[in-house]
Amino acid sequence: MADKRAGELLFLKLFFALLAAVFIFFVLKELRQIFIPFFIALFFYFMFNGMVRKLMKWKIPKSLILIALLLVIFTCLFLLGLLIFNGVSSFVDNFPAYSEKIVRMVKTLSAYLKLPALDVEKYIAHIDWGKTFDPAQITALVSGAIGDFTSFIGNLLLVLLLLMLMLSEKVPMVARIAMALSEERGEELQRVVAAIDSKLRHYLFIKTLMGLVTAALAAVILIVGRVDFVIFSALLIFFLNFIPTIGSLIGTAFPVMIAFLRYGFCLRLLLITAGLMVMGFVMGNVVEPQVMGKNLNLSPIVIVLSLIFWGWLWGVVGLFLAVPITSALKIICENIPDLKPLAAAMSGE
């Protein structure tokens, strides 16, 4: 009788847990316009909170620290926007040279596949490359990719506002919640949040450092290979490095494509591609694990599944936030007795 009752209780727990998870995921997807800025702000909070606390120990006023941080963020955003604008403008200016090579490649491919030459030439003749890659159209394409520009600026300001509010709190929200709980529960909550803070800060620092090194090495390879758009390619590789497993592969696709359009299929292209692939493999699978250690300790299959899930839930932003969020969930599961088996399943050991 007792076993039957325990089985029914376990079933009810699993049922309500599944129901709660479905509800939470539904809310996260439907209210993503609210949750995405919040989680991005939280992402930056973990990145800057330790630095702010250290500067405050040196008796520097918090208001001065936050103003300086805002200036640094705006300067970085301005430089980033300038690099992207220059990269796109350079691509537009140099595209006529690439369009001729694309036409030749299409003709060669059509001849190889034995397509009707007249139909192919007729199709190519009707393509207006100037209009296809007109700067105004490229601007519209970029705007479409990031959403309405006004909405983008609004979300950016919301992220900065949330970040400043998080950093400016005299008593952190976690400490206030802990004071409302029993002493044991309060200490446990603060211990869990401290573990999340420490691990995510270490992860973000290492990923940023590895991203900078990877982008610098990629830039050297592209300069030696005389590939165009070096700065834009290095910037792309740096940001995509924050997406585990697939980010480095996607990042190398753009410079390889540019090298292919400029030089065609030749030894130079093979060397550039091999150099980028080997460098990405060594940095991502040899150097980074050694530097990172067992900080997050997530199973590779869990990382891939988290990328798929959060990418489906929040799009590109979800791909960047997938690992930090999954790591935080694993730490929470480790401190809840009933969820410890789930944390063990997520572990890389």
**String of DSSP letters for 57-75:** HTT--HHHHHHHHHHHHHH
- Reported in sequence order, the residue ranges of the chain that DSSP labels E, i.e. its strands, are none
How many CA atoms lie within 13 Å of 179's alpha carbon, on the beta-carbon side?
6
Structure confidence at residue 118 (pLDDT): 47
pLDDT tens for each residue of 62-90: 888 888 988 888 888 888 777 777 776 77
pLDDT (0 to 100) of residue 7 = 65
Total Cβ atoms within 10 A of residue 179: 10
Residue 142 CA to residue 272 CA, distance in Å, equals 28
Sign of CA dihedral 295, 300, 302, 304: positive
Which pLDDT value is given to residue 120? Answer: 47
Tokens of 256: 């390889």
Tell me if 297 sits within 8 A of 345, measured CB to CB: no
- Write down how long the chain is: 349
Residue ranges, the chain, pLDDT below 50: 117-118, 120, 124, 129, 133, 135, 145-146
The predicted pLDDT at position 348 comes to: 65
